Homo-oligomer: A and B are copies of this chain.
Amino acid sequence: MKYVTGARCVKCGKRYDAVPDLTNCECGGILDIEYDYEHIRADVNKDTLRDRKLFSMWRYREFLPVEEDTKEPPLRVGWSPLYDAERLREKLSLKKLYVKDDGVNPTASLKDRASSMAVAKAFEAGQDTIACSSTGNAASSLAGNAAAAGMKTYIFVPERAPKGKVAQLLTFGANVISVQGNYEETFELSKAAIDEYGWYNRNAAINPYLSEGKKTVSLEIMEQLNWSVPDFIAISVGDGCTIAGLWKGLKDLKEAGFIDRLPRLISAQAAGCFPINRAVRENKALAPMEENTIADSIAVGVPRNPDKAMAAIRESDGITVEVTDEEIMAAQKLLGRYAGVFGEPAGVTGTAGLKKLCEEGIIDKNSTVVSVVTGNGLKDVENAIKYAGEPLKCRNDMNELKEEFKKRGII
């Protein structure tokens, strides 16, 4: 890996060689992959990037911790659209608003970026089996990306994971273990099993390469904005790994000379589960919280990667915000109605947080903001059904239809 210099523990600073099956530091801290930015600068710039024909997360090969001869995993992950959301911008009274729709990834969430990386690193490690614990999206993305690459998977999900997500990963041929307990217990069992059987570990809070995959979302956003740095990037936060990856990508771009300043992050959590935001605001160590939200992908009471996430929010002079389930589902409708983007509850929580901050006057109206939608609304149809309302019911009878329209004042 010509651009990678090694890995360093974010807690104690100890350095490691960047072997493919890296896990946490012996002190328990998570590692961070380090790069030779001078070398990156020498080999890639905005012009060379512009000419590349590969439109996926693997477009940014120099920024990714893989060997030169490692093949890109088969599924086409990344290069999701960044929409100039003019009508949604008006609704929020912002100067400029972009929506990054990561729900169009192969398994319909941002987690595909981490799973594509996991498949590449498992391949480098000579392993054919990958395991993880997940509330859902990491699971289905691992199952899909591994299936396409011909790798086996063992996936641990908490029993509350929506049935649709479970069905998706069973269809991908994963060995699925539904753990009778919360996310923490699910994580523990997966860890024990990985230790026992020696599978490749795709737990984002343990495997430091995964957030390197996730960081491609920022690389894309910045290239899609033609390297013009927004004032804020809003994103939902659960386990903390995604916002940490997002931030890493931005810092990489600054170090490599692609951008000259950094945006502020907006860390949006559910009002029923916000341990990371609370710890940042109170400037205290992270304490567990209940997991009371319909936004299942971010219902993480004991985040496994708080260090990187909290550092990202602090370093970026970030803003923390919590939103209720009702505010989340209102944001889902807002994104659908005014941007044509259908996100899952956790996927739209960043937008819900942004909306709240706009209404409270905390975000300057003159700001340019990017809101990342991290997962597709089809992932959790049950909640969409609950909040979307009912269609007008009618027989095949034009008079009845007219009557119904009249009753509702539609036409």
Contact = CB atoms under 8 A, between A and B. Distances in A.
B176 A392 contact: yes
Interface size class of A (residues with CB under 8 A): 35 or more
Q: Which of A76, A333, A392, A396 is packed against the most chain B CB atoms within 10 Å?
A: A396
B397 A173 contact: no
B411 A197 contact: yes
A384 B333 contact: no
Contacts of A196: 398, 402
Interface in A125-169: 144-150, 157, 159, 163-164, 166-168
Given A148-B340, A164-B385, A384-B164, A189 B81 contact: no
Contacts of A342: 107, 144, 168, 171-172
Contact of A336 (B171, B377, B389, B395): B171
B389 A170 contact: yes
B376 A189 contact: no
A337 interface: yes
Interface stretch (A23-31, A179-187, A229-237): A179-187
A104 interface: yes
A81 B72 CA distance: 14
Nearest to A178: B391
Interface string A216-236: 000000000000000000000
B175 A410 contact: yes
Contacts of A333: 171, 173
Contacts of A74: 83-84, 340
A381 B379 CA distance: 9
A239 interface: no
Given A171-B337, A197-B411, A176 B391 contact: yes
Contact of A397 (B55, B189, B398): B189
A171 B391 contact: no
A325 to B, nearest CB: 15
Contacts of A175: 392, 410
A172 B379 CA distance: 16
A234 B105 CA distance: 24
A177 interface: yes
7 A-B pairs closest in CB distance:
A148-B340, A173-B337, A164-B381, A378-B378, A176-B391, A171-B336, A170-B388
